[in-house]
Amino acid sequence: MARYLGPKVKLSRRVGVPIADIPKHTSKRQLSPPGMHGFRGRRIKDYGIRKDEKQKLRYHYNVLERQFRGYLATATRRPGNTGENLLQLLECRLDNVIRRAGFTRTIWAARQFVVHGHIRINGKKVDRPSYQVQIGDEITVRPKDSSTKLARESMESLAGHMVPGWAEVNPAELTIKIVARPTSDQIPFDVNTNLIVEFYR
């Protein structure tokens, strides 16, 4: 199985930024470079800088390299800025929408939430984390005690969580309505997409 199943904090330490917005990843201690003493006197070359930027985005959205290349190819074919198209495609993944709405705390929990069949889109069960949501889609949680309990517990633990403007969340009914396409300034993750596009050229 190609998917990374090891400690997730290692990924944050590897790229030097928190890839999940939870204390385990955001603490300064966890963002120090790997190893007992970290990297000292090591200068990263241009290739490494571009590669790290690409890895940051991959880890943040929990996608494999092959999937990432597919998203980039699709973004290139679309009119407009390739970097913004890439971010839009990744942001519209179903598992990410669940994470942004606050139904889960991390992208890995969101993936599991979707795969286990807790989500309905326009009344139909969808268990593919990579499903691309569209404007007008209504996402609901399966009306069972276990599903709603998980989502409500997560929302309570994320008090003050900011939902992006392209989605409308109803906490009482646990529904999400997609009202627009996400824009780069609505994405709460700092990444230089120009470096990523250059990496693959």
Phi, psi of 4 (to 5 degrees): -70, 125
| Token pair belonging to 94 | 């179903």
Please list the alpha-helical segments (H only) found in 16-106.
Answer: 23-26, 46-61, 65-77, 82-91, 94-101
94-180 to CATH, choices 1.20.1440.230, 3.50.50.60, 2.70.150.10, 3.10.290.10: 3.10.290.10
Q: What is the pTM of this model?
A: 0.86
Burial of 86 (0-12, 13-18, 19+ CB in 10 A): buried
88-99: average pLDDT: 95
pLDDT for residue 93: 96
Going from N- to C-terminal start, the domains of the chain cover 9-90+194-199, 94-180
pLDDT for residue 6: 77
Per-residue pLDDT tens over the stretch 125-154: 999 999 999 999 999 999 887 888 888 888
pLDDT for residue 1: 43
| Token pair belonging to 95 | 């598992």
Give the model's confidence band at 29: pLDDT under 50 very low, under 70 low, under 90 confident, else very high. low
| CATH number of the 9-90+194-199 domain | 1.10.1050.10
Which residue in 97, 71, 95, 99 sits closest to 85, CA to CA? 71
pLDDT for residue 145: 79
Residue 120: its H or E element:
strand 119-121
Phi, psi of 139 (to 5 degrees): -105, 130
60-64, 152-156, 164-168, range with the lowest pLDDT = 152-156
Mean pLDDT for all residues in the chain: 86
60-77: average pLDDT: 94
Cα–Cα distance measured from residue 118 to residue 125, given in angstroms and rounded to the nearest whole number: 8
What letter represents residue 34's amino acid?
P
| The domains spanning 9-90+194-199 and 94-180 adopt the same CATH topology | no
Residue 87: CB atoms within 10 A of its CB come to 24
